[in-house]
């Protein structure tokens, strides 16, 4: 009680009474009057004064330890697929949310074969300028961090890999066609400079980073740790948090020490708009939507008034053009596809015996091959050959069916009108000598015998028609 009174005499202002006992008031009065042998508030600071009282010191340190070990929040996101505008937007929004939640760090669980260079640069820039530490964790087992993913992993404040993963293969490749040696050299040098700047910023293995670009090497997680490409290996997210705890990293505002042991993990998912953009950013989806739009319009033109094919076609075309807007498009390839559509439409109106349709199929194939052209050889974006060949084959089969049906219709015997009656069999209603009446298909016609006289009630065959008069012969 005396110790509490003495501490209160240091910390409480003179004149304060509150809820205190008589003994407390007495001890405080002695303190302020100078008769008590305690520290004077002007001679010692509160921390020094508290150190003289073991009971309160233990209580204070216990409270301080409890506050310091309070569970922190870690924000985690997952990128499983190509690096595209949707992935870049997801990383940007996740970083903003992590900062708002005062999270210890943002963990990006990465599994990617690569993606668009523009989106990669956006993500790398966001990571390098992030206000909180960013951790890239290549997972789960069997995941890869290739092409554009290498740049993102090296840009992280801390990079880790799960067992059974690999990183590398960032050498530029030619997509949708071969590049000449000069353009390839330019792309390789640009990629090498880009990855060197990132590795130097994060103090990672510069030599390996350049080899990953120039020689397209790829290494396992164990080799990556030994070569100081990544910081460590982590078997799970809990293991990652334990190894991150106590690690110091540099952010724009200074050095921070991570406190992630036992932290609460808040997982963020893509929003609806980001999921839609992610789906539409797939070049195969964009191409399929484009083909559906073309087929829908063609069916509507072949069968005017069907409505449904036209509606589906227009919606598909609008989504296809939105999707193509997010991708590096070769306008020559798009022009060839549109020219193929024109040829298909012309085939409907013009009798070309299939030549326009063949030209349309060839134009469609060439345009599909050229449709996606990367802005840089670093980009891993292309249309699957399976999708291209399937679409062209379906188009070819469709027009072969339509053209074949048309040829058979031209060669077939007319079934209506005057031409449709020639060769038909009927019955004579009156003797034809040479004129009389006959019944054909339930209709009564005036008829003339081609040769001789035809008696009543016998089978006759129509030879020709002249001015609504049938010329017939007797069926033997």
**Upstream peptide bond of 434 is cis (omega within 30 degrees of 0):** yes
From 131, 173, 167, select the one nearest 152 (Cα to Cα). Answer: 167
DSSP 38: S
Q: Any catalytic annotation for residue 186? A: yes
The set of long-range contacts for 233-238, using a CB threshold of 8 Å and a minimum separation of 24, is 233/160, 233/161, 233/162, 233/163, 234/137, 234/160, 234/161, 234/162, 235/162, 235/163, 236/162, 237/76, 237/107, 237/109, 237/137, 237/139, 237/265
Provide the 3-class DSSP secondary structure of residue 163.
coil
Could you say which of 118, 186, 227, 459 is catalytic?
186
Could you say which of 147, 316, 374, 428 is catalytic?
147
CA 272 vs. chain centroid, Å, equals 12
Q: How many CB atoms lie within 10 A of CB 416?
A: 7
Q: By CB neighbour count within 10 A (0-12 exposed, 13-18 middle, 19+ buried), where does 265 fall?
A: middle
Q: Name the pairing type of β-strands 158-161 and 144-146.
A: unpaired
DSSP alpha helix (H) spans, 75-116 = 85-100
Dihedral angle computed from the Cα positions of residues 35, 37, 42 and 44, in that order, rounded to the nearest 10 degrees: -170
Token duo for residue 380 = 């891993």
Cβ contact 228:240 at 8 Å: no
Q: By CB neighbour count within 10 A (0-12 exposed, 13-18 middle, 19+ buried), where does 447 fall?
A: buried
From 347, 344, 345, 346, select the one nearest 361 (Cα to Cα). Answer: 344
**Upstream peptide bond of 140 is cis (omega within 30 degrees of 0):** yes
Element (H, E) at 166: strand 166-168
DSSP 429: S
Cβ contact 21:8 at 8 Å: no
Active centre residues (catalytic): 147, 186
């Amino acid at each position: 009680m005396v110790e509490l009174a003495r501490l209160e005499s240091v910390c409480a202002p003179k004149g304060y009474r509150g809820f205190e006992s008589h003994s407390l008031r007495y001890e405080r009065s002695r303190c302020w009057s100078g008769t008590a042998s305690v520290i004077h508030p002007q001679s010692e600071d509160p921390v020094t004064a508290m150190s003289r009282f073991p009971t309160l010191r233990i209580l204070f340190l216990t409270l301080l330890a409890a506050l310091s070990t309070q569970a922190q929040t870690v924000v985690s996101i997952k990128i499983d697929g190509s690096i595209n505008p949707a992935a870049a937007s997801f990383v940007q929004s996740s970083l903003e949310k992590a900062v708002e939640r005062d999270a210890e760090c943002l963990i990006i669980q990465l599994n990617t074969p690569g993606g668009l260079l523009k989106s990669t640069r956006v993500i790398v820039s966001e990571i390098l300028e992030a206000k909180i530490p960013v951790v890239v964790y290549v997972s789960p087992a069997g995941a890869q961090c290739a092409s554009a993913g290498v740049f993102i992993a090296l840009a992280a404040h801390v990079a880790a890999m799960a067992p059974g993963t690999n990183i590398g293969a960032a050498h530029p490749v030619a997509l949708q066609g071969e590049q000449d040696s000069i353009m390839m050299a330019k792309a390789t040098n640009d990629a090498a400079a880009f990855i060197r700047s990132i590795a130097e910023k994060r103090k990672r293995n510069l030599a390996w980073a350049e080899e990953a670009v120039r020689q397209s090497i790829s290494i396992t997680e164990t080799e990556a740790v030994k070569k100081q490409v990544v910081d460590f290996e982590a078997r799970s997210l809990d293991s990652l948090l334990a190894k991150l705890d106590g690690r110091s990293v540099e952010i724009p505002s200074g050095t921070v020490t991570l406190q992630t042991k036992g932290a609460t993990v808040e997982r963020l998912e893509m929003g609806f708009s980001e999921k839609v953009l992610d789906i539409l950013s797939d070049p195969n989806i964009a191409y399929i939507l484009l083909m559906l739009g073309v087929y829908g319009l063609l069916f509507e033109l072949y069968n005017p008034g069907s409505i449904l094919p036209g509606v589906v076609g227009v919606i598909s075309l609008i989504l296809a053009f939105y999707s193509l807007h997010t991708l590096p498009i070769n306008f020559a390839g798009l022009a060839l596809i549109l020219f193929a559509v024109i040829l298909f439409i012309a085939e409907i109106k013009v009798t070309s015996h299939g030549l326009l349709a063949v030209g349309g199929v060839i134009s469609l194939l060439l345009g599909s091959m050229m449709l996606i052209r990367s802005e840089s050889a670093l980009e891993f974006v292309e249309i699957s050959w399976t999708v291209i060949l399937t679409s062209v084959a379906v188009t070819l089969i469709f027009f072969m069916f339509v053209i074949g049906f048309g040829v058979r219709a031209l060669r077939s015997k007319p079934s209506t009108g005057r031409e449709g009656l020639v060769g038909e069999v009927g019955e004579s209603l009156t003797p034809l000598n040479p004129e009389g009446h006959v019944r054909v298909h339930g209709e009564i016609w005036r008829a003339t015998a081609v040769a001789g006289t035809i008696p009543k009630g016998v089978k006759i065959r129509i030879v020709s028609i002249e001015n609504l008069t049938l010329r017939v012969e007797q069926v033997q």
